[in-house]
Amino acid sequence: MRVTHEQNLLLPWVRCDELPELWRAARKAGFAKPNIKLLTDMIACPGGDFCSLANARSIPIAEAITERYQDLDELHDLGEIDLHISGCINSCGHHHSGHIGILGVDKDGKEWYQVSLGGSDGSTLSGPAVPGKAVGPSFSAAEVPEVIEAVLETYRQQREGGETFIATLRRVGAEPFKAAANGARFSATRTESAETSAA
Ligand code: SF4
């Protein structure tokens, strides 16, 4: 068995006639989830739960996004997306090369998360390797799933035909995605509500 850099387990040299039995055993053990290359097949470093260098935890962010995106039909509709999470700038989670990257940062001793868009790991799907660009100031942990949802909703609205997330982002440009991400800040919502009430 090998562990890939995408944090999946690869079992080489399985005989074709033994695949069904292997699949049944893997499913029983909770390992046969059909989400390869989809949003929840993400890379996340150990983060603050296990790493003494971390600025923020990665695992609760990965869990919150995974919990939100449980519906396999929805995941397949969103298609192939590289989501990478690092708990600090050492970048073990390769956040910079994710179509969507999340980087844990420390501000005044508290955990915050910078979200970047448009990164590429040089794969066939993503094209030449390039780092993603931050959408704006950092978000709180609670805001991150909302930000991801807002970005993906923008993709759904903007995509043409069977276009992938990264292809839509490149065709349309980052601005509508950035606007959606920044609009998902709780403080932005609160400010808007206050302004609406005052108006
Ligand atoms: S990116 Fe930072 S927090 Fe994550 S494993 Fe590497 S050093 Fe630790």
User: What's this model's pTM, rounded to 2 decimal places?
Assistant: 0.91
* CB contact set of 10 (below 8 Å; sequence gap of 6+): 1, 2, 3, 4
The model's pLDDT over 136-193, given as tens digits with 9 standing for 90+, comes to 999 999 999 999 999 999 999 999 999 999 999 999 999 999 999 999 998 655 444 4
Q: Is 46 in the pocket of ligand 1 (CB under 6 A)?
A: yes
Strands 110-117 and 133-134: antiparallel
Domain ranges of the chain: 1-32, 36-198
93 lines ligand 1 (CB under 6 A): yes
* Ligand 1 centroid, distance to 59 Cα (angstroms): 11
Distance 114 CA to ligand 1 centre (A): 15
Residue type, 104: G
Centroid of ligand 1 to alpha carbon of 87 (angstroms)? 5
Q: What is the pLDDT of residues 35-56, one digit of tens each?
A: 999 999 999 999 999 999 999 9
Question: Hey, whose CA ends up nearest to atom 6 of ligand 1?
Answer: 92
Positive/negative CA dihedral, 139, 5, 34, 57? negative
- The rounded Å distance from CA 198 to ligand 1 centre is 44
Distance 124 CA to ligand 1 centre (A): 27
Q: Is the pLDDT of residue 194 over 90?
A: no
pLDDT of residue 20: 96
Confidence of residue 33 (pLDDT cuts 50, 70, 90): confident
* Axis-axis angle for helices 59-68, 143-158 (nearest 10): 50
- Output the six-digit token pair for 150: 């807002």
pLDDT tens-place string over residues 65-110: 999 999 999 999 999 999 999 999 999 999 999 999 999 999 989 9
What is 36-198's CATH topology?
Answer: Sulfite Reductase Hemoprotein; domain 1 (3.30.413)
Pocket test residue of 42, 45, 113 for ligand 1, highest count of atoms within 8 A of CB: 45
